[in-house]
Structure 1
Amino acid sequence: MGTSTSLGRMHEVDLPGGRIRYHDTGAGAPVVFVHGLLVNADLWRKVVPAIAAAGYRCLTPDLPLGSHSIPVPDADLTPTGVADLIAAFLQQLDLTDVTIVANDTGGAITQVLLTRKPDRIGRVVLASVDSYEGFLPQPFTALPLLARIPGSIRPLTEAMRIRALHRLPLAFGWVAKRPVPPEIADSYLLPSRNSAAIRKDLRRFLKSVHRRYTLEAAAHFPSIEIPVLIAWAREDKIFPVSFAERLAEDLPNATLRLIDDSYTFLPEDQPELLTETILEFTRLHATP
C-alpha cells in the first residue's frame, strides 16, 4: 500500500511476473529500501526524508510480501524469485552503484540477491535481519507450515482486526518496541485482510520460506567484496546479536553497529540513529 507522503511520489513498474508500486524521492546516488514480511514501504517513512535530504535518491518498492496492493499471481514468490524481482527492479530503472537497505525478512532476500545478482549493488545495509538458521525465526517458524493448509491465512488476518492483539509476539509485539500507529498498522494489515488474491500471494511466499535459502547464501559470503553494514538492535527479541556477530565475521567487508532502545523494526523504533548510521556508512564507502 505504501501510503506515506514522506516517501515521495508513487509510481508503478512492470517486472517479470507482475507489476509493483514504488515511491521515489530525492536526487543523487540511489538507495533502495527493502522491507520484510507483512509490511510495505511505509516501514521507511521516518528514514527516507533525512536520507533524501542528505543528497540521495530514495526508492521504496512495495514488494509482494503480503502488504502489497497489486496481486502478482504469475510472479515467482520463492525467496530467490523475490530476490530476482528486486534485481529486475534495479535493471528496469537502470539503477547502478545502489545502496540496498534491508530489514527483517527483506534482509534474507537481500542476502540471496547479493549472492545471485550483485552487479548493480555498491553497498548493503542489513538492519536486524533473518539469516542462517533463523529464516523464519521464532515465534514465526510455524507460518510456513500453516500456509500449507488451505484457508489458513484468512483467520489470522481477521484476528488482526483486534488492535489489542497487535502487541502480541506474533503480531508487532516483538518486532516494534513502541506501538505501531493505527494508520500504519492498517497499511500493513488491510491488503491481506481485504483481498483473497493478496492472501494467495502471501501464502505462496510463506510456503516457500526455508532456511536452506539463507544457509545457501551464507555459503557464498566469503566471495562477497561489497561493503556491508550490519546495523542491529541490541535488544532484538527475535534476531540475537550473535547472528549479527556471525554475519560480521563471515562477510569479508562488514562493519557491525549495535543500536540501543529498539527491537527488530529499527526504522520504526530508532529512525534517527539508523539514518545516522546509514549516512556515515554510505559516505565512508562512497564511489570516488
Structure 2
Amino acid sequence: MQNPQPDLRSHEADVGGIRMRWDERGSGIPVVLVHGIPTSPQLWRKVMPLVDGARLMAWEMVGYGHSIPEGRGHDISVRAQAGYLLEWLDAQGLDRVVLVGHDLGGGVVQIAALRHPERCQGLLLTNAIGYDSWPIPSVKMLRAAGGLVRRLPAGMIKAGIFRMLMARGHDDAQVARESLALHSAPYAEHGAGEALARQVRSLEVNDTRVVAGELPTLAGVPARVVWGAADQFQKIEYGERFARDLDAPLERIEGGKHFTPEDHPDRIAAALGALLREVSERASSQP
C-alpha cells in the first residue's frame, strides 16, 4: 500500500526505562493523538495528512502496536497509560498540548487532562471510552477466557476476534479489510494471544468511573466531541454526555460506527482544525 504520508517520521525514545514510540508530521501547535484497542498510531494515518498548522504526534500506548513487548512486566491499564503519556510529554519538553483520543485513548487523554489541566490546550474525543461505558461485552468475554486467548494462534485471532471487531466497528467495508491487515500485523509479530490477553486483563472501568465527576472542571478548555452515531461499542449517549460535561459541541456522524478516524478522517480532521483555530484565537487574545 502506498504511504499516504511521505513526510511522516517515526521516533523512539527511552522514557523512564520504557521504550516509547510515536509517529510525527507537521509543525505548529503540538497535538497528541492516542489510539485504542486493538489499534496503534496507524489509526490516525488518514487524519494526519488532512491537518495543517500543527505538530501532530500519534503516540503509541505501552503494550500496543510495535510497543507490545514493552507491556511485559508493566502496568498497561488506562490509568497507567495516562501517567506514561505525561512522562513522555515531559521527556519531549511539551508543556501544553492539544489532546485527541479514540476508544481507550479517549480515556487516557481524559485522565491526563484532569491530572494536569494547565497542560491541556484543547481536547477532542471521538468514540471514546468513559464513565461506565466499557469494557464492552466482547472484551469482557475475552478477559474471562484469558487462558484460552493466550494459547490462540495469531491466524485465529486475526480471522476470528479481530475480523469481528473490524466488521462491527467499521461502516466502510473496504477500510475494515485494510485495517484488519494493518492492525493485526504487530500482534502476529509479537505473540498475538499473549499480547491480547495482557491487554484485556488490564482494562478496569474504575479508571474512568472515578474521574467522571471531574469532567465538568474541564469545561473551560476548548473541546470537540465527534461521534459515529451507529457505534455498537461506544453508544452515542456517551458522546452526548461528554458534550454536556465538557460544554463542547457534538458532531454526530450519522451511520458512522466505532473506527471514525479510519472511516471518516475528513470529519475528524475538520473538527480538529476548528479546535486548533479556537486554541490559536484564545492564545492570541491573551495579554
TM-score class, shorter = 0.7 to 0.9
Show the counterpart of 2:75: 76
Higher helix share goes to which structure? 2
**Structure 2 matches for 1:1-20, cutoff 5 A?**
5-6=5-6, 8-20=8-20
Show the counterpart of 2:242: 247
Decide whether aligned partners of structure 1 residues 42 and 4 sit closer, same or farther in structure 2, where only a CA change above 3 A counts.
farther
Q: Distance in 2 between matches of 1:7 and 1:154?
A: 39
Q: Percent identity?
A: 26
Q: Distance in 1 between matches of 2:250 and 2:237?
A: 11
Pick from 149, 153, 165: which aligns with 1:152? 149
> Which amino acid counterpart does residue 86 of structure 1 have in structure 2?
L
Decide whether aligned partners of structure 1 residues 259 and 239 sit closer, same or farther in structure 2, where only a CA change above 3 A counts.
same
Decide whether aligned partners of structure 1 residues 156 and 219 sit closer, same or farther in structure 2, where only a CA change above 3 A counts.
farther
Show the counterpart of 1:122: 121
Worse overlay, 259-268 or 114-123: 114-123
TM-score of the superposed pair, with normalisation by structure 2: 0.86
Pick from 248, 261, 284: which aligns with 2:278? 284
Show the counterpart of 2:256: 262
Decide whether aligned partners of structure 1 residues 165 and 139 sit closer, same or farther in structure 2, where only a CA change above 3 A counts.
closer
- Secondary structure at the aligned position of 1:71 is classed as helix
Show the counterpart of 2:55: 57
Show the counterpart of 2:198: 204
1:75, 1:81 within 8 Å by CA — same for their partners in 2? no
Decide whether aligned partners of structure 1 residues 167 and 208 sit closer, same or farther in structure 2, where only a CA change above 3 A counts.
closer
1:143, 1:206 within 8 Å by CA — same for their partners in 2? yes
Show the counterpart of 2:29: 29
Q: Distance in 1 between matches of 2:69 and 2:54?
A: 30
In angstroms, what is the RMSD of aligned CA positions?
2.4
> Which amino acid counterpart does residue 214 of structure 2 have in structure 1?
H
Q: Distance in 2 between matches of 1:199 and 1:120?
A: 37
Decide whether aligned partners of structure 1 residues 4 and 152 sit closer, same or farther in structure 2, where only a CA change above 3 A counts.
farther
* Equivalent residue pairs, number: 277
Decide whether aligned partners of structure 1 residues 65 and 125 sit closer, same or farther in structure 2, where only a CA change above 3 A counts.
farther
Decide whether aligned partners of structure 1 residues 103 and 207 sit closer, same or farther in structure 2, where only a CA change above 3 A counts.
same
Gaps of 5+ in 2: none
Give the superposition deviation at 1:84.
0.7
Give the superposition deviation at 1:116.
2.2
Give the superposition deviation at 1:121.
1.7
Show the counterpart of 1:136: 135
1:232, 1:244 within 8 Å by CA — same for their partners in 2? yes
Gaps of 5+ in 1: none
Give the superposition deviation at 1:97.
2.5
